[in-house]
Amino acid sequence: MSIRTKVLGMVDVMMRVPPILVIDEILKIGMGLPSRSYTDKSVDKGGGAGDLSSFHHQSSNNSVDTTAGTDSITNFNMFTQITNASLEKAIDNASTAVIAGGVMSSSFGNLIDELAKDSYLSDLLSITSIKFVICVLGLFCALGIFMLWTRHLVMVYMFVISLGLTFLSHWSNVSALALMENNSCILEDILSMNTTRLLDTGGVAVSLLPHLVAQWFMGMLFAYIHLGPRYALLQRSMPLIFASPILLATLPLKMRIIKYLPILAAAVPLLLTKITIMSSGMEAGKTVYNGYQFATNFVSNFGLSALIENEWQRLNVPSVLRVFWTIRITQEFLGLVLNDQVSAMNLIPTSQKLLVDGCETLTAVLGMTSIISVICHYIGKAFQWYLLTFENDEEKSLGTVSAVLFYILALQTGLTSLSPDKRFVRLCRNLCLLFTALLHFLHNIVSPILMSLSAARNPSRKRHFRALTVCAFLIIAPIALLVILWSRHSPSTWLLAVTAFSVEVVVKVCVSLATYSLFLLDARRPSFWEKLDDYLYYVRAFGNSVEFCFGILLFFNGAWILIFESGGAIRAIMMCIHAYFNIWCEAQAGWSVFMKRRSAVHKISALPEATTAQLQAFDDVCAICYQEMYSAKITRCRHYFHGVCLRKWLYVQDRCPLCHEIMMYTDRREESEADRAVHQRHQEQAAALAAAAAAAAAAQNSEVHA
C-alpha cells in the first residue's frame, strides 16, 4: 500500500469522526429527555465499594467546583431538579392509581384530567418533546453524513466550512468595529502620516491589522471552497467583500451606517450559500434515493449480511471508532489537566475516571470495544509468533470475537445506565470475563499445534517447549485469577461464572495435554497400540462432560441473575442461544457419538477373533491402516482387519472396506433383504457374463464365415 493511499485513508477516517462526536453528545444528554439522577451510590455485592468511594467523592467535588461558578447555572440546576421531581411525582401517582384500580378506574381518569389541566407540566412536556424531536433529527442527520461516500462527504464539509467562515467573518467584523467605536478616525492618521499613533502597539491600527489579515484569508478560502456559482469578478472580489466593513469603517461615516456594515458584508456569502442549498436539494434527494436502490439491489442479490460487511469495510468503522474514542479520552484528560486535577498522587483515580467516562454512552462503548479488539488481536499475534505458526484462522477472528463479546456484555449488564462507581465495578467484571474468554481463544490456538506436533512426530524440541509453556500459562493464569478474586470478593453469581469459565479452561488444557501425551507414547511404541483409540475417547469424553456440566451450571446461574438480580431482553436472548448451542446441540452430538461407538463395539464383539495360526497363514497387513496384525477380526466375507480400525470404519458405514459386502446384520428381515440383494446382484453379473460370451461367439462365427 502506497503512502498516498494510506494518507487518503487516514483523511477519510478523520472526516467520519465528527458525526460520531455529534451522536455521542446527543446520547450524552439523553436524547433531550429528562434524566433521573443517580441517588443510590452503593456498589453491587462483591464489587469493592471501598476502592471507589474516594474516587467518586473526589470526582463529585471537582465537578461541583468547576460548575458552580455562576448563579445562572445554579438556577438552571435547581430548575432541572424541580422538573425531574415533578415528572417523577406525576409518574409515581399515575402508576399508583393504575396498580390500585387499573387503567379504566375513575381515580386514574381524574388524575389524567388534572395532569392535562396543569399548565406548568404541559409546557414542560412540550419543551421536552421539542428537544427530543431536535435530537432525533440531529441523530439521523449525523448518521446519514457518516454513511456518505467520500465525494459527498467532502462536499458536505466544504458547505459547512464555507458557512462557518461566513459567521466567523461576521464575528470578526463586529469585534473590529467595536475597537474603532471610541477612537479617532484612522484615515486622519494615515493622511497625516502620524506614524506614532499608527505604530503604537496598544493603538487601534495595530489591533485592527490581525482582523484585516484574517478577513482577507477567510475571503480567499471562501472563494476557493464554496459550492455556489463561481463568477470570475465575484471570486476575485470575495476577499475585499469580507474585509469591506473594516475598510469602510476607516472613512468618516455615521455610526448607524457602520453598525450595519458586517450584516451587508455577510449577505453576499449567505446568498451564495442559499443558492447552494436550493441547487443541491434535488441532488441530495437523488443521492439518497440512489443509495436506497443500491442497498435494496445488493440485499436481493447477495443478502443483508453481505451488505453490512461491505458497508463496514467501506466506512472503515473500527478505525473511525478507535480515533473517536482516542479523541474523546484525550479531551477528557486535557480537561482534567487544565483544571489541575491530575498529579502524581491521583493517577489511579484519574485513570478510573477516564475509564468510566469512556463507556458513558453507547458510542463510547463502541469506541472502547474497538480498542479492546485491537489489543486482543495483537495478543493473538504475539502468541502466534511465540508458537512459530502463521496460519491460524482462530487468531484472525480473535479480535472480532472479543469485541462482539465485550459489547454484548456491556449491553447485557446495562453498563451505560449505571452510576459512575457501579459502572467502573461492572467494567472490571466484564474485563475479567473477557480475560477468561481470551484464555479459551488462546487454547483454541495452541491445541491444534499440540496435536500436530505429537501426531507428526516432530523432533523440534523448541516448538514442543513453546507449546508446553503456553499450556502452562493457560493453567497458571486462571488459577491465579481465581485466587485473587476469591480472596478479595465475597461469593456472588458473577464470581461463580468467572470460576466456571476459568476451571473449564484448566480442564480443556489438561485434556489437550493428556491427548498430546498419548500421541507421544504411541509414536515411541514399536508396535501398533490398539487401546489408543479407547484412551483418547475416555479423555475427550471426560473433557466434554465437564464442559457440558459447566454449561448447565452457567445456564442456571444466568437464570438466577435474570429472575432475581438484573433481567433484560438481551440477557434472556443470550440465555436462549446458550441453552440451544452449548447445551442442546452439544448433548445431541455427544449422544450421537456415544450411540455410534456403542453400536460399533457391539458389532465388533460379534465378529470372530483371528487365531495365531490364521494370522500366520494370512501373513499380511491391515488393509485400513497398513500396519502389521498381531490380533484381528474376521468379517463374514473372510477379510482380516484390526478391531480398532474396523470399529472406526463402522462409524461411517457397515460394508466391508475391500469388497463392500455387508459385514453383519441386525435382524433377520434385514438379513433376508440383504441376501436377496446379493443374489440379485449375482444373477445380474451372470447374465452380463453370458451376454458377453454370446457376443464374443457371434463375432467369432462372423469371422469364420468371412
Q: Which of 363, 346, 364 is CA-nearest to residue 355?
A: 364
b/e burial code for range 46-79 (CB count within 10 A of at least 16 → b): bbbbebbeebbeebeebeeeeeeeeeeeeeeeee
Q: What is the mean pLDDT of the chain?
A: 78
pLDDT 10s digits, 353-409? 999 999 989 999 999 999 999 999 999 999 989 988 876 666 567 888 899 999 999
Place of cell 477519510: 12
Query: What pLDDT sits at residue 46?
Result: 38
- The average pLDDT across 182-191 equals 61
**What's the average model confidence in pLDDT over 642-667?**
74
Q: What is the pLDDT of residue 261?
A: 86
User: Which of 383-392, 504-513, 597-606 is predicted with the least confidence, judged by mean pLDDT?
Assistant: 597-606
Instruction: Return the percentage of the chain with pLDDT > 70, whole number.
Output: 75
Residue range 190-206: average pLDDT? 64
- 70-100 tens-digit pLDDT: 444 444 445 445 555 554 555 455 445 444 4
Range 259-277 average pLDDT: 87
Phi, psi of 605 (to 5 degrees): -65, -20
| Residue 116 pLDDT grade (very low, low, confident, very high; cuts 50, 70, 90) | low
**DSSP summary character for residue 458:** -
User: Running DSSP on this structure, what letter comes out for residue 309?
Assistant: H
pLDDT score of 496 more than 60: yes
Closest CA to 51 of 499, 344, 424, 490: 424
Which pLDDT does position 601 carry in this prediction? 76
What pLDDT shows up at residue 461? 83
Q: What SS3 string covers 25-83?
A: HHHHCHHHCCCCCCCCCCCCCCCCCHHHHHHHHHHHHHHHHHHCCCHHHHHHHHHHHHH
Every domain of the chain and the residues it spans:
16-37+68-146, 150-298, 316-524
Residue scoring higher pLDDT (520 or 124): 520
Taking the C-alpha atoms of residue 402 and residue 529, their distance in angstroms, rounded to an integer, is: 41
Q: Is the pLDDT of residue 254 over 50?
A: yes
- pLDDT tens digit sequence for 612-639: 888 888 888 888 887 888 888 888 888 8
CA distance 352 to 347: 9
Cα angle 158-160-164, degrees, rounded to a multiple of 5: 115
Contact 479, 439 (CB under 8 A): no
Residue 697 has pLDDT above 80, yes or no: no
166-177 pLDDT, tens digit each: 999 999 888 888
Three-class HEC string of 102-168: CCCCHHHHHHHHHHHHCHHHHHHHHHHHHHHHHHHHHHHHHHHHHCCCHHHHHHHHHHHHHHHHHHH
* Rounded Cα distance, 101 and 112, in Å: 14
Distance between CA 287 and CA 148 in Å, rounded? Answer: 9
Given pLDDT bands bounded at 50, 70 and 90, which one contains residue 65?
A: very low
| Across 392-396, 444-448, 507-511, 640-644, least confident range | 392-396
Contact (Cβ atoms closer than 8 angstroms) between residue 609 and residue 633: yes
Amino acid, single-letter form, for residue 262: P
**Cell (9 digits) for 407:** 459489547
Q: Is the pLDDT of residue 68 over 50?
A: no
CA distance 706 to 350: 110
Cβ-proximal residues to 358 (8 Å cutoff; 6+ apart), any chain: 325, 328, 329, 332, 364, 367, 368
Which residue type occupies 649?
W
Percent of the chain with pLDDT over 90: 23
Q: What DSSP string describes 597-646?
A: HHHHHHHHHHSPBPPHHHHHHH--B-TTT--B-SS-EE-TTS-EE-HHHH
- Which grid cell sits at 238? 470575495
What pLDDT sits at residue 512? Answer: 92
Of the ranges 53-67, 85-99, 241-255, 304-318, the best mean pLDDT one: 304-318
The structure's pTM equals 0.72
Between 155-169, 249-263, 463-477, the lowest mean confidence (pLDDT) is in 249-263
Following DSSP, what letter does each residue of 229-240 receive, concatenated?
Answer: ---HHHHHHHHH
